[in-house]
Structure 1
Amino acid sequence: MNISQYIKKIKLLFYIGITLALATAVLGFFSIINQIYLWISLVVLIIILGILFVKLNTSIVRLQQSVLNSQVNQKQTEQSLASRDQKIQELVALNYAMNKAILYARVSKKGAIISLSERFAKLLNIEHDYERKNLIDLINLNEVQKNRLLSLITQSSGSVFNEEFELKTNIGQKIWLDISILTIFKESGNSERLVLCSDISKRKEAQIEIERLNAYRYKEKEELQKSNASQIVEAQEEERKRIAKEIHDSIGQMLTALKFNIESINLENTEKASQKIEGLKQLSKNLIQGTRIATFNLTPPELKDYGIGIALDKMAKELSKLTGKNILFENKSNFEQRFDSLVETNLYRVTQEAVNNAIKYANSNYILITINHSNSLLSITIEDNGIGFDINTIPSKPNNNAKGGMGLFFMKERMNYINGRIFINSIPNEGSRIILNYTIL
């Protein structure tokens, strides 16, 4: 029964009550005895009708509120059902996407398959009848990897395990999978394993290629170092031969000449003896000069005692005296800092090689050695006004000493050895400039 029918029945009762009251009043008019009863009945009837009217209004209000609440509940229920349907559709779409795009499997704590994504099943070539089979048996791994994967699945610590595995597909293609294993605990107390995989074959191929290139570069660098070491040994041998040749050709010959001249002096012939003695004085002078040149090319004591600045100044002055060339030194920034002996020795030798090249091959009569430095960099510059050379004609790695470039090659090697840098600039007929830079730590 709806609200309108209920209201109609209440109104009907109300009208019946009024009719009875009127009827009672009419009968009362015919009887004076019943007049008092009539008024009492009317009062009682009015009270009853008032109570019925109040209750009627209250019931109507309650019924209207109930209807409103019912409508609100119905609307909320409809919204809840719509939201649930939407979530179900989203879950269905997500499950479809996971099956199509993600490699995953749900397995028991012993590895038995509970569910498998479509893509994973296709990769393993087991698209049908794989339920309750062991995942380890279906993945084409070697025995060591199978045992390792099984041990990861059977562990139940609740942690996430992650490892990389190489397997073969059904067509014999090798691929790499990054496999993560997550333990899922159910309300019943049992546990399952969620196996998530990602194909990292391209990344592994790139990594293997990088390792191959690094190994090739390492081997190439090792061979280069061996070659450089061989060149250094050859250069050291050539330097020994050069020193021996200088001693033999200059000092040795002068000593021999000195011996013969002394032996040929005839004291009875005073005039000739006097001439020979003068010749012996000049020969002795040349011998002293040759000895100083030979010994000066060895390690100078100034380098060990005072450092690179004083040693280069001494070298410029001595070479200027010995060769007659105008060799100058300028310490523009008053550099006095000391370095490790290995660093100072290599800086000195490279500068010495540059000056010797300018003296021997450049035909220069003016050579300037300059030192300058900042808080982080020491710079040594060697400039000359000689004939210069074409840098492009000098091989970066000389095959032998006869083809030239050996001095420049070892200048570069020495600077590399101390983590320094060398810059060579030369123009034919316009001189050369060599800059040595060393980082101050």
Structure 2
Amino acid sequence: MKPTRSLREWLERLGGSGRLLRVRKRVGLRYELAAVSQKLEGDRAVLFEATDGPPMPVLANICTRREWYAEAMGVPPERLLPELQRRQEVRIPPRKSGDAPFLKNVQTRDIDVRKVLPLPTYHERDGGPYISAGVFFVRDPDTGAGNVSIHRMHCLEGDLFGLLVLPRHLKGMIRKAGERGEALKVAVAIGLDPMLLLASQLVLAPGQDELEMAGGLLGEAVEVVCAPWTGILVPAQAEIIIEGEIPAGERRREGPFGEFPRYYSPAGEREVLRVWSLAWRPDAVFYSILPAGRDHLLMGAVPREAGLLRDLQRAVPSVTDVALPLSGSGRYHCVIQLDKRNEGEPKSALLAALAAHYDVKHAIAVDRDIDPHDAAMVDWALATRFQADKDLIVVPGAWGSRLDPSAREGVTAKMGLDATAPLGSLEGSFCPLRIPGAERLDLDAWLKG
């Protein structure tokens, strides 16, 4: 099985296997589209062929199961993290092309995105309609290095978006451009394939280009073209390209917005994107990510898991697997599986996990017999192998997520829980119950006999 190379190719695969629902009934962009998407997530992707907005179909729920990401990558589900980890070490520069379908419709005057794009309003207290799946392509003003990331976009006017830009790479590039007296030029792509979306969420060092990483994930160069207004390289197979500038000193009120922790991120005076060009395929499909839904959470969790697994194995080689459960918003809870060889390894792994990514708030270490993706097994390990007086680590005043409502300006307490059995005891006093032959028993055949 080969990786999918465009959103359309992935849609064909979903449709051919009965995992794509086409809705012909007109759906409301205010809340109704979000409600239907939520009802179907984890089961089927959904293509809304008609809305009460502009005549462009809306697609949602394209990757709401882990095994779908594995399929899009062309690997078995159990190989998803190891293969993602391996392919992150491969860099394949993009391949420049001269044409792209979205270049057939380019508007640079009298732009009003609300007349072209069907922009949903998702939650009852959201500040207005949003683009939730806009992938930003930018160049560092000093080095020219590319950067790719996703940022929520609040439509304030027909050619103006409010943005949430957290203190990461894009924030620094806006500052650098401002120091030169310039606005930062950006190109925003909507409607990319699952591998490009995963690449946009990889945790990379400054100067590393996610487009090259996406080539590594695909096993071949990503086809790119120059965006018509900025000249920034963007994927040729994108459905829609929005271009414009982020002025360093300009702020407008953005939000509130229902974010991944399943609470509202409050409104604030934030950066804006002024739109100078809008391009779209003649038969464009608008991709919508349901905020705090499975599509949203998995897109962030899977690449973070791969990065954490790499970092933890460097620190503690006995680490064998990592999970960021969706119950922790795919960010805040981390479960670490170890094949423990020395006492103390679990605590070292816990401290490494809490330091590796600011989002990780609670980490749990479990033995090799516990599936870190099985919440019931993890709870059982906590219930029977953890003692708070000796197995608990608390780190006060640590850097955490600014979107965690229980943190104060991003400062949080972190906690590690060692739920591993004493070394050598899994075959002794901590030997789990086992019924010989149960795992091989074919119940249907047995009942028929």
Shared fold per TM-score greater than 0.5: no
Larger RCO (CA within 8 A; separation ≥ 6):
2
Relative to its length, the structure with more strand (as a share) is 2
TM-score range, shorter chain: under 0.3
